[in-house]
Amino acid sequence: MQDPVVPATRPASGILAGPYLWVTVGTCALVFLAAFESLAVTTIMPLVSRELDGAALYALAFAGPLATGVIGMVAAGNWSDWRGPTAPLYTSVALFVLGLLIAGTAVSMPALVAGRLVQGLGGGALTVSLYVLVARIYPGALHPKIFAAFSAAWVIPSLVGPFAAGIVAQVFSWHWVFLGVVGLVIPALLMIAPVLKRLDSKPAAQPSTPWAVGRLAWAALAAAAVLGLNLSAGVRVPGIPAVAGALAVAAVGVALLAVRPLVPRGTLTARRGLPSVILTRGLASAGFFGAEVYLPYLLIEQYAFPPTFAGLTLTAGALSWAGASAVQGRLGARLPHRRAVGIGALMVLGAVVLALATAALNWPAAIAIAGWISAGGGMGLLYPRLSVMTLALSTKENEGFNSSAMSIADSLGGALALAITGIVFAAFTTTAGSFAGVFGLAAVLAAAAAAVAPRVTAAKTP
């Protein structure tokens, strides 16, 4: 499977060793900038909405990129399997930059949302293209380390992104939160351009994976279902109080139907091996992010925390995530994949249960905060290992498909969980009940991830 483009005269000592240095810095920079932009937009969107009179499109500004990202993931995966990751990577960066330019120069909310849709399309494709690039360049022994670096590059912006975005918006303008990133994306791409050129210079093989137009159609349907689910909570029909719930159920059904051709066969039934790797990733994302967005809200509403201190809980979880990612990367094969994933899933489950108990029983806030530090550590253990396993269980012909399946599980898992928890939160008449309902649902999803986690490796043969 491995066909490294970057040769080494001796076994590679790490991802920052001579032949890998610039490609590591460049790819991590791209991951960092994508994560920074995601977090920065969350900070400035209230200001943008007020200035552009765009309250009606506020939710779509977040849901739209998530939905179009699914289409980008499928397209990049198919394209990478067909011709390699070079063209998809250049195209994804171009779309990401185009979206930033459209949003950064927008003078109306519809124009800004249009930019966000293009940005999401490029961002989804970028993630998959980078995973395939890792498979083609780095030897398998370095995969835990590079994915640990990706995790850190995704987490670190949570420490500086919101604050930096607020400063830029206050001192200059919110437009520069989008436009300023453009000037950083180009140098990051140039760092990996030499490796991409060497990939293209290799003798071209006959394409073994044709374009799957049907998958793109299913991806578009899944994206539409995600958007419909996010928007269904705001639907109200006089005399028919359950219409929002009915629309939500229909949207979930359509999303699950559409995702089946986009993931390995047996994913939704937790078949052992790669299907369970993908499913565990999606369930863990759903449980973690479904709870995370409500934890600061709980601390502010029930415990009168200032927003700054409530947000520090997420910062602590992010630091724990980055630390655990680094630890698992150093342990390598000494910590088996199955054990790392299992321990990580149980840590996330335990943290969500503590948040549930804190909300329902009015326990001290410190219990939920401590639990969330453990949740970050759990994600830091399981996320990189699931990425490593996905590539290890792939061939050169399906690296793109499997990488896109993993990213789709991330995206759809989190999106579906956030949309459903929003409906659950609104269904209760008391604040305590709303939080308990949200964390209860997240606990069910995290428990499902912990149950599927032992199936990520194939059954032992006699």
Cα dist. 450→18, 200, 284, 289 in Å? Answer: 39, 41, 8, 15
146-182 confidence digits (pLDDT tens): 888 887 787 777 666 666 776 777 778 888 888 888 8
Q: Is the pLDDT of residue 4 over 60?
A: no
pLDDT at 6: 44
pLDDT of res. 143: 82
Yes or no: say if 79 and 87 are a contact pair by the CB < 8 Å rule: yes
Best-predicted range by mean pLDDT (84-88, 175-179, 383-387, 401-405):
383-387
- Tens of pLDDT along 405-431? 888 888 788 778 877 777 787 778 788
**What are the tens digits of pLDDT across the range 47-75?**
777 788 876 666 567 667 877 888 888 88
Average pLDDT in the 78-83 region? 79
- What pLDDT, on a 0 to 100 scale, did the predictor assign at position 462? 41
Collect contacts of 170-176 with beta carbons under 8 A, ≥24 apart: 174/44, 174/47, 174/48, 174/51, 175/104, 175/105, 175/106, 176/104
Write down the pLDDT at residue 151: 76
Torsion from C-alpha of 402, 71, 214, 269, nearest 10 degrees = 50
User: What is the band of 364 on the pLDDT scale with cuts at 50, 70, 90?
Assistant: very high
Model-level pTM?
Answer: 0.74
User: 308 near 296, Cβ under 8 Å?
Assistant: no
Stretch 324-353: mean pLDDT: 92
Residue 251 has, within 13 A of its CA and on its CB side, a CA count of 25
Pair 323, 380: CB distance under 8 Å? yes
Q: Provide the 3-class DSSP secondary structure of residue 237.
A: strand
Question: What band does 42 get if pLDDT is binned at 50, 70 and 90?
Answer: low
| Residue 335 DSSP one-character state | S
What is the predicted pLDDT for the residue at 336? 92
pLDDT on residue 346: 97
Task: Give the pLDDT score at 366.
Answer: 94
State whether residue 264 is helix, strand or coil. Answer: coil
Confidence tier at 210 by pLDDT (50, 70, 90): low
Residue 294: the pLDDT is 82
The stretch 340-344 carries a mean pLDDT of 96
